């Protein structure tokens, strides 16, 4: 085995195994973290900080047969377009997805941001990692 699952007690799963067991949602369907982030974007739009946003509204071509679908395209009040990829935490942002985001940031004139929920013990809200 290549992972540490053989060190776990029988019937126990690692966090990564539990995440993989959940599978992926259908395109266009938000998970709970994305739903929470959409509420955050809606509040920012109501406050005048965001003009527009769209879930999975932009699919970027990186190479032949290689694409990146952005979770949220966000237009700020100053007209700048940002690409926000919502993750459940830094550990969930796998190396392949991180690499695709870096490639996209090199190819396209947008600000790319990974978005993570900040733990409640740290005040909640959202943490950002820019590319």
**Torsion sign over Cα 43, 76, 125, 26:** positive
DSSP class of residue 83 equals E
Q: How far apart, in whole angstroms, are the C-alpha atoms of residue 50 and residue 41?
A: 7
| Cβ contact 84:93 at 8 Å | no
pLDDT value for 28: 85
pLDDT tens digits along 78-107? 999 999 999 999 898 999 999 999 999 999
Mean pLDDT score across all residues of the chain: 88
**Phi and psi torsions of 116, nearest 5°:** -125, 140
- 37-56 burial code (b ≥16 CB/10 A, e <16): bbebbeebbeeeebeebebe
Q: Which residue has the tokens 């969930």?
A: 92
Domains in the chain: ranges and CATH = 30-130 (3.40.1350)
Cross-strand partners of 115: 86, 128
Q: Which residue has the tokens 């799963």?
A: 13
pLDDT tens digits along 27-56? 789 999 999 999 999 999 999 999 999 999
């Amino acid at each position: 085995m290549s992972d540490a699952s053989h060190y776990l007690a029988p019937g126990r799963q690692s966090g990564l195994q539990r995440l993989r067991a959940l599978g992926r949602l259908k395109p266009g369907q938000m998970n709970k973290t994305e739903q929470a982030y959409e509420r955050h974007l809606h509040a920012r739009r109501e406050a005048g900080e965001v003009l527009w946003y769209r879930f999975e509204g932009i699919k970027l071509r990186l190479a032949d047969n290689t694409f990146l679908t952005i979770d949220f395209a966000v237009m700020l009040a100053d007209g700048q377009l940002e690409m926000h990829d919502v993750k459940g935490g830094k550990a969930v942002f796998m190396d392949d997805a991180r690499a695709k985001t870096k490639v996209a940031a090199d190819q396209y004139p947008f600000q790319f941001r990974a978005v993570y929920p900040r733990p409640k013990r740290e005040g909640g809200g959202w943490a950002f990692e820019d590319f």
